[in-house]
Structure 1
Amino acid sequence: MRELSTIEEPYWTLGKASEYLKQEKGLNIPVVTLRTWFNALEKYKVHTLSRTEHKRERVLFQLEIDIVIFWHQQKELYGKNLSSEFMANAVQKQFEGKLNYYDLNQQTSSSSELVTMDRFIERVNDELDDRIELMKDEMRKFKEELYQEFENRTRLALPDPKVREQEEAERAKEAAEKAKVEEEKEKERQKETEILIRSYQVDIYITEMRLKNELKREAEEEWAKDPAKVGFIIKREDTAKKVQFINDYVDKHLPERMEEELKK
């Protein structure tokens, strides 16, 4: 995975990438579509997006922007019914030598907690992206409705220009106030999400500590059944082997126990 803190190359989150593509490239590609495309590339082991260190947000560099543009062009040329598998293969051929796939599950297989947290945080980020997109879409519809209402009234009767300007100003003010309220609500939702994530991390940590203690007790019971001995004349328990046996036992069974606990 690329360390973002050491890279000067500009990058975009999925939401920012959608805005960039619309403003700079004239391509209207929603966040949901971007997520679907890159999920397909990961599913078919073609390319994996980098993640930010803390929030685990997926980010796009210029390479990924080029991939999106290529994908969109192929859809425009050959129809929007091209399968995700077909497009993943097309991307692999078009950008051969530039792509970077890594298995997130395999990378963090030594810690069941990290795998679970990555998936949880990624799901939260996706939900936040969807909420923001929904809010933007509602604002666009609201503005269109205001404009349509204004057009209808204009056709029915042409009021004094000053009255018309005042009405337009009032509607613009109302729209701005509504946008501000929605922005504050979104900030509150983000705070609640951060609190939820911290609480989830604490719960996982406590669960892991409890399971480790349980596994250590189990390991000691298993060891006691047939403990290794050292010494020719006076036999005594091999402490070093006992410690290694317990550590190996915990490492072997902890991921499975964590997974069982998190499914409850």
Structure 2
Amino acid sequence: MTNIIITGCSTGIGLETAKYLKDKFIKVYPTARDPKDVEMLKDLGFEHAMLLDVTKPEMITMVIENVLALDGHIDVWFNNAGYGQPGAVEDISTPILREQFETNVFGLHECTRQIIPVMREQGQGKIIQHSSVLGIISLFGRGAYNASKYAIEGLTDTLRLELKDTDIYPVLLNTGPIISNFRQTAVEKLEENVDIEHSIFKEKYLRSLKERTQKKVPFKEGADAVAAVVHKIILADQPKPRYYITKATYLLGYLKRLLSTSCLDKLLMKIE
């Protein structure tokens, strides 16, 4: 039976993908960094749900060893764990930027580098990297998150070249707006880590906070849209190097290729 390890399954895309794949008879090893969420996953029928904080290399090693002891192989690793830190570049301190990278980039990288030797030994595997439409284009006030996703793009594009002569496939997911707790977490991170009151962008922040609770996001899709693509990747003998998910990703990806930088900037400034 094909198996998959998924990071960041406490809610949203990770949780919904785990449930979707379980119904498709894929053996799922979901992980979460909070013990309460691991228990929640076990209550949902994931008996092999495991504790994993991707910023802790020893925990990554333990998860890999546990799955190998149970199954003897790991077919797919889905680097899904991550969050968004909003705020203008000048309002984000270096420690907060570093914190964003610890999970979104360095955690992803450590998972990737630890699973590659396993996949080399077994002769095959798929590594799914959760990037974003913001790994393709940049939006105002998303500098930390943009930078983390651009970093994932660069690492994975390079990794694909380095694994070209193997049957190990690194795959990028460029998701657009998905129904999840992501936006609420981002609001909490903005209020926690940005001095809104003393920022030159105070009014923009306050307007954005208000609109995030009231404004309907266009082109938003359910987390099952991502889960369906992950399932498609699992079934493919040779998956594509990247998959766009949501109409917003297709549209903005196309406009980036079509428009000049200055024209694209004018358009992107209209997106909150």
After TM superposition, the score normalised by the length of structure 2 is 0.23
Q: Per residue, is there more strand in 1 or in 2?
A: 2
After TM superposition, the score normalised by the length of structure 1 is 0.23
